[in-house]
Amino acid sequence: MQKGEFIRQHNQLVQVGRAILIGLLTGLVVSLFRLAIQKLLNLVTTCFQYFHQHPAGLIFWALGSIILALLLGWLTQRHPNIKGSGIPQVEGQLTSQFEEEWWAVLWRKFFGGILAIGSGLYLGREGPSIQLGAAIGQGVEESLHAGKLNRQVGIASGAAAGLSAAFNAPIAATIFILEEVYHNFSPVIWLATFVSALCSNMVSLTIFGLHPVLDVPYRYMLPTRYYWHLVVLGLVLGLLGRLYQLVILRLDSWTAKLTWLPPFAYPVVPFLLVIPIAWYLPVTLGGGNRLIGELTSLPFSLSFFAGLFLLRFVFSMVSYSSQLPGGIFLPILTLGAVLGAVYCALMVHCGLLPAQYLPNFIIYAMAGYFACISKAPFTAILLITEMVGSLAHLMPLAIVAMVAYLVVDSLHGEPVYTAMFNNFIGKHQDNHPQEVEMSVTIYAGASLDGKRIMDYDWPANSIVTSVYRGEQRIIPNGQTKLAAGDTLIIQVCQSRTGKVLGQISRAAHYADV
């Protein structure tokens, strides 16, 4: 074995070892995060059962809610890096456009997320879980002084591990992080993130068991004669998905118009509004996984399901606009599930569909709604398949997801996490890293296939230093012809990395100079 090959394999084994450590630590932290939220939500439900017999207790609950809301509001305004889902922050780190201290984010996001989500607000645990995992990955790599490249790999590995532990879906978690957050399918990155996701999932399964996260029991497969419903459902989901994008991306500008309410007091509004929701509909509290599991046992009524969707949509927006630690991942899936129930109830009312297929349409709509809002249909299909624990729905899931995706794409909808990332970076220019030269690793796409290096319009002050084609390393010159799939190492000023990525492909990670 040649020396270079031996070093490469040794480095890969070391990276896998770190990925295992990151996965195990993330699995433990995120599982505790998930468990604490469940326990707190159960406590809220129990308290409101007590208040039905002793309504005077609501006075003290409301006062406590105001105090807690103000404390959380002060925390998030003082430490804005823990706001929201955390996915834009992680994407900013992986593209070297944003930096944060891992420990400061880790403990504040952990406790802030538990209190915000566990109190019943319509926020998801998945985005915070991704940021928690990314912080752990960053902490492990920095503690081991592993270098800038390995630090990026560690952040991506931790992010995938966080989502895996939150959903018990290691494959979908890996695909989501690589496709939607990191935009990189390098073998090194892919292997490390998948290993971390598997290890994290193992810890989560040990704590929570093998039961699917979204257990939607179904008894019948949808016959092909009803497949036209999948196209109609996809169209509806696409239109409503575009509406969701438009609203969620305008929340900050709308809340900023409330000049009479200081930002640290934003959380008071959802904390007070959640009280009547917990009184009348405790099953809807939190991100929505409990509601998804119990949808089939709720009254089968078109008006009830439509009202449930309206409630979930409006209060999800109110909850997220508070800027508390909490995401939109699971709330999107919940809205999709309720929309599936609405569609099924409508078709049953019209005599076009038997009611026995309600669970099927709940499952299909979850994938379709997430696919069109995030514009990641492949991730959506894998995610729902893993979370439901069945491969039986792959074909219907694919049809609904692709139709919904195409509708949003035709309406010029941008992937919601990309749009949120752009908004986030625009508000945090002061957190950009200092200007330095660095190497960018990029996969050559179709636009570079067959072109000589001298024929491409590279950004100013950048230079291609190496080209990897499989196991072969090519020292390039202007006459070197590129092929789709080549890995390019480009020396570039850090401020120009976004331009390089935009011109060539969406896949990149950053190495030491």
Q: Give the residue ranges of DSSP H helices in 411-477.
A: 416-427
The SS3 assignment for 487 reads strand
Closest CA to 441 of 159, 133, 95: 95
Confidence tier at 190 by pLDDT (50, 70, 90): confident
Measured between alpha carbons, how far is 268 from 257 in angstroms, rounded to an integer?
17
Beta-carbon-side half-sphere exposure of residue 464 (alpha carbons within 13 Å): 29
What pLDDT is attached to residue 492?
64
Nearest to residue 168, comparing CAs of 199, 190, 140? 199
Above 70 in pLDDT, residue 426? no
pLDDT of 430 strictly over 60: no
Query: Where does the pLDDT of residue 338 fall: very low under 50, low under 70, confident under 90, or very high at 90 and above?
Result: very high
Among 339, 345, 351, 288, residue whose Cα is nearest residue 315: 288
Q: How far apart are CA 388 and CA 393, in angstroms?
A: 10
The CA-CA-CA angle for residues 420, 316, 333, to 5°, reads 80
What gap in Å lies between CA 331 and CA 105, rounded to an integer? 23
Place 326 in a pLDDT band, splitting at 50, 70 and 90: very high
Q: What per-residue confidence (pLDDT) applies to 218?
A: 78
Q: Smallest Cα–Cα separation from 289: which of 240, 344, 251, 338?
A: 338
- Here the contacts of 224-230 (C-beta below 8 Å, separation 24 or greater) are 226/353, 226/357, 227/396, 227/399, 229/343, 229/347, 229/352, 229/353, 229/361, 230/364, 230/396, 230/399, 230/400, 230/403
Q: Give the span between the Cα atoms of 253 and 267, in whole angstroms.
A: 16
Q: What pLDDT, on a 0 to 100 scale, did the predictor assign at position 303?
A: 95
Provide the H-helix boundaries in 79-183: 87-94, 102-118, 126-143, 148-167, 170-176
Distance (Å, rounded) from C-alpha 344 to C-alpha 229? 9
Q: What is the model's pLDDT at position 312?
A: 96
Provide the pLDDT for residue 418: 82
How many residues can be counted in the chain? 513
Residue scoring higher pLDDT (494 or 238): 238
Q: What is the pLDDT of residue 419?
A: 86
pLDDT for residue 505 is more than 60: no
Sequence-ordered list of residues with C-beta below 8 angstroms from that of 310, at least 6 positions apart, any chain: none
Most confident of 86-100, 106-120, 143-157: 106-120
pLDDT one-digit tens code per residue, 30-42: 999 999 999 999 9
**Short-list 313, 270, 320, 251, CA closest to 85:** 320
pLDDT of residue 415 exceeding 60, the answer is yes
- The single-letter DSSP state of residue 298 is S
Q: What is the pLDDT of residue 184?
A: 62
pLDDT average, residue stretch 268-293: 93
Alpha carbon distance 379, 437 (integer Å): 34
Work out the average pLDDT over 50-77: 94
Which residues on neighbouring strands pair with residue 468, listed in sequence order?
A: 473, 487
Rounded to 5°, the CA angle 19-367-220 comes to 115
The answer to whether 280 and 307 have CB atoms below 8 angstroms apart is: no
Picking from 1-15, 142-156, 400-414, which range would have the lowest pLDDT averaged per residue?
A: 1-15
DSSP 413-482: PPPHHHHHHHHHHHH-GGGPPPP-EEEEEEE--GGGTT-BGGGS-PPTT-EEEEEEETTEEE---TTPBP
Average pLDDT of the chain to the nearest whole number: 85
Q: How many Cβ atoms sit within 10 Å of the Cβ of residue 13?
A: 10
pLDDT, average across residues 365-375: 94
Structure tokens, 117: 């989500």
Confidence band, pLDDT 50/70/90 cuts, at residue 431: low
* pLDDT reading at 106 higher than 90: yes
Question: Which residue would you say has higher pLDDT here, 457 or 65?
Answer: 65
What does DSSP assign to residue 389?
T
DSSP-derived secondary structure letter, 152: H
Please write the tens of the pLDDT for every residue from 443-465. Answer: 666 667 778 887 777 766 667 77
d(CA 446, CA 510): 22
How confident is residue 122, by pLDDT bands cut at 50, 70 and 90? very high
Mean pLDDT for the stretch of residues 138-150: 84
Give the range among 5-14, 45-54, 81-90 with minimum mean pLDDT: 5-14
Name the 3-class secondary structure at 327: strand
Residue 251 near residue 317 (C-beta atoms within 8 A): yes
DSSP, res 481: B
pLDDT digits (tens, 9 = 90+) for 374-394: 988 888 898 888 877 777 788
Sign of CA dihedral 159, 163, 164, 166: positive
> What single-letter amino acid sits at 367?
A
pLDDT surpassing 50 at residue 86 = yes
pLDDT of residue 511: 35
Q: What is the pTM of this model?
A: 0.81
Element (H or E) spanning 441, and its range?
A: strand 437-443
Give the pLDDT band (50/70/90) at residue 6. very low
Q: For residues 487 and 186, is the Cβ–Cβ distance under 8 A?
A: yes
Q: How far apart are CA 341 and CA 364, in angstroms?
A: 10
Q: Looking only at Cα atoms, what is the longest distance across the chain?
A: 82
Is residue 2 pLDDT above 80, yes or no?
Answer: no
pLDDT of residue 500: 52
